[in-house]
Amino acid sequence: MPFISEIIKTVPAGKKLVVEIKTGPEIVPFMKKDILKSGKADQMIFIAFGWESILAAKKAFPSNECYWLSSTKKSLLEKMEESAREGLEGVNLNYKIIDQEVMKKAEELGIEVLAWTVNDPDMAKTLINLGVEKITTDRPRWLKEEIIFKVNKKRSNLLLFYFKFVLMVMIVFCRIRFGFVLVNGSERMFRLGVN
């Protein structure tokens, strides 16, 4: 298993590395030393299930994004309030517990809701429509392409509907303004009351 210093070296400029803290807060000072030494501290985002661990990360890296992880809805709304009070950017939740109530609370508190682990494009689209800003997935490129495809397909259908509607309005206008008559099975236009 590589050291965090080795992983940080692979992070390209302009990209972020999400660091999940899987131990207690005692690891944060050691982690901080390696991260600061790398010169890439501003590229780190921290997540943790451990409440004390994520608070320690926020204290050590006050300018970095820090999110508390949860997979249960039990006392979630209260923990969201605590997250806001402690200056965390938000919560990172199992997608199955995200609903309108959670999103409304997040909006009231001014915090973000992130979702994990989403590998279904329809679910990702549902979460995006709810207001989820970041999604963890096992297939990032594929999921992004699928979402874009579905959005573009929907836009294409909407444009086609709009085109048909405009065409229909134009035909109705022509029929009213000029009038049509069937001659030998084809429509012929004539003007109504116009010399």
**pLDDT digit string (tens) for 124-182?**
999 999 999 899 999 998 988 888 777 666 665 655 555 444 444 444 444 444 444 33
Tokens of 17: 């590395």
The domain 4-149 is placed in CATH, from the list 3.30.70.330, 3.20.20.190, 3.30.420.10, 3.40.50.10260, at: 3.20.20.190
pLDDT of res. 90:
98
User: How far is 76 from 92, CA to CA, in rounded Å?
Assistant: 11
- Domain boundaries along the sequence of the chain: 4-149, 150-189
User: Higher-confidence residue: 167 or 53?
Assistant: 53
Of the CA atoms within 13 Å of residue 137, those in its CB half-sphere come to 19
Q: What is the dihedral of CA 114, 120, 122, 128, to 10 degrees?
A: 10
What would the pLDDT profile of 67-106 be if each residue is shown by its tens digit? Answer: 999 999 999 999 999 999 999 999 999 999 999 999 999 9
Judge contact between 92 and 67, C-beta under 8 A.
Answer: yes
Helix or strand or coil: residue 187?
A: strand
User: How far is 69 from 49, CA to CA, in rounded Å?
Assistant: 5
User: How far is 109 from 68, CA to CA, in rounded Å?
Assistant: 15
pLDDT at 3 over 60: yes
pLDDT of res. 136:
94
Banded pLDDT at 1 (limits 50, 70, 90)? confident
User: Higher-confidence residue: 181 or 21?
Assistant: 21
User: Higher-confidence residue: 148 or 60?
Assistant: 60
pLDDT of res. 181:
39
pLDDT of res. 146:
85
User: How far is 68 from 95, CA to CA, in rounded Å?
Assistant: 14
pLDDT of res. 9:
94
pLDDT at 120 over 90: yes
Instruction: Classify the phi-psi angles of 112: left when phi > 0, otherwise alpha if psi is within -120 to 50, otherwise beta.
Output: beta
pLDDT of res. 168:
45
pLDDT of res. 167:
42
